[in-house]
Structure 1
Amino acid sequence: MATVLLVEDDPVNARVFDKVLRRRGGFEVFHSQNVEQILQLAQGHEVDVILLDVSLSQSTFRGEAVDGIRIAQLLKENPKSNSIPIILVTAHAMRGDREAFLAQSGADGYIAKPVVDHEDMVNQVRQVLPQSLQEPQ
């Protein structure tokens, strides 16, 4: 069973995404906004994919506020975590946002909020997983 790390600061979105990922996707879901913990889980390959909100209101790293773009950069810069797929999940959905965010972050995918097509979200997560984890268990 693939494990998804959900980095989302809105409790309602977190509950909905968790339910969708577990029920429709058959994924194990872990939720955190703690940047140190996120980096540790990724570097230890304890997660298979990361769903990362771009606008995080409470996340800090080394005393500074960080957003999802910066967290993605930290993960992609580190050889211990750069192979883990990251999908940005954001309400920033203006023309050009997708391309700009993907280029800035190095992320592997982008999902616009509000997420109305839950099956598409699950399929996007499956598509970035290694082949051996793409089929539901």
Structure 2
Amino acid sequence: MKTVLIVEDEPINFRVFSKILTRRSGLNVKGTEDVEEAMKIAQAGDADIILMDACLAHSVYQGKPVDGIKMAQMLKADAQASNLPIIFVMPGNMMEGDCEALLKQSGADGYIKKPIVDPQQFVDQILALLPKDD
């Protein structure tokens, strides 16, 4: 069974995303806002895809604030985690061009805008980026 690592600093968002994913797709879900824990999970191969808040207002790594963009860059630069797909969760008020620019800057593989209006479309976007079994 595939596992989604949700990197989210708002507990209510984590609960909503987790419920939608487990109920509608049967995916396993892990969650953290801790940068080191997320890196360890990714490096160990304990997740198949990452759903990450682009803002991460409360996350810190080695004493410095880290947002989702920086964390995605760190993951994509890490040999053990670089192939892991990352989907950003973007604020709903961001313009499409800004979302595309953040994807390019971060190396992330896709994005979903909040609020989640269509739960099935949310699940389908994640399933589409999940690595296929060989």
Q: What TM-score range do you get, normalising by the shorter chain?
A: over 0.9
The answer to whether structure 1 residue 112 and structure 2 residue 113 are counterparts is: yes
The answer to whether structure 1 residue 12 and structure 2 residue 5 are counterparts is: no
Instruction: Work out the CA distance in 2 between the residues paired with 1:5 and 1:101.
Output: 20
Alpha-carbon displacement from aligned partner over 1:87-125 (angstroms, at most 9, x marks no partner): 000105213122111101100110011111111111111
Instruction: Work out the CA distance in 1 between the residues paired with 2:107 and 2:71.
Output: 10
Alignment of 1:45-56 (within 5 A): 45-56=45-56
Alignment of 1:91-110 (within 5 A): 91=91, 92-110=93-111
Could you tell me which runs of 5 or more consecutive residues in structure 2 were left unpaired when the two chains were aligned: none
Alpha-carbon displacement from aligned partner over 1:75-97 (angstroms, at most 9, x marks no partner): 00011100000000010521312
Instruction: Work out the CA distance in 2 between the residues paired with 1:121 and 1:13.
Output: 13
Could you tell me which runs of 5 or more consecutive residues in structure 1 were left unpaired when the two chains were aligned: none
User: TM-score when scaled to structure 1?
Assistant: 0.93
Instruction: Work out the CA distance in 1 between the residues paired with 2:130 and 2:11.
Output: 25
Alpha-carbon displacement from aligned partner over 1:42-67 (angstroms, at most 9, x marks no partner): 01110000000011121101100000
What percent of counterpart residues are identical?
Answer: 47
Q: CA RMSD in A?
A: 1.2
Counterpart of 1:26 in structure 2 is: 26
For residue 5 of structure 1, give the secondary structure of its aligned residue in structure 2. Answer: strand
Aligned pairs, number: 133
User: TM-score when scaled to structure 2?
Assistant: 0.95
Alignment of 1:57-72 (within 5 A): 57-72=57-72
Counterpart of 2:43 in structure 1 is: 43
Shift of residue 132 of structure 1? 2.0
Instruction: Please tell me whether the aligned partners of residues 35 and 59 of structure 2 are also in contact (alpha carbons under 8 angstroms).
Output: yes
Superposition misfits of 4+ residues, deviation over 3 angstroms: none
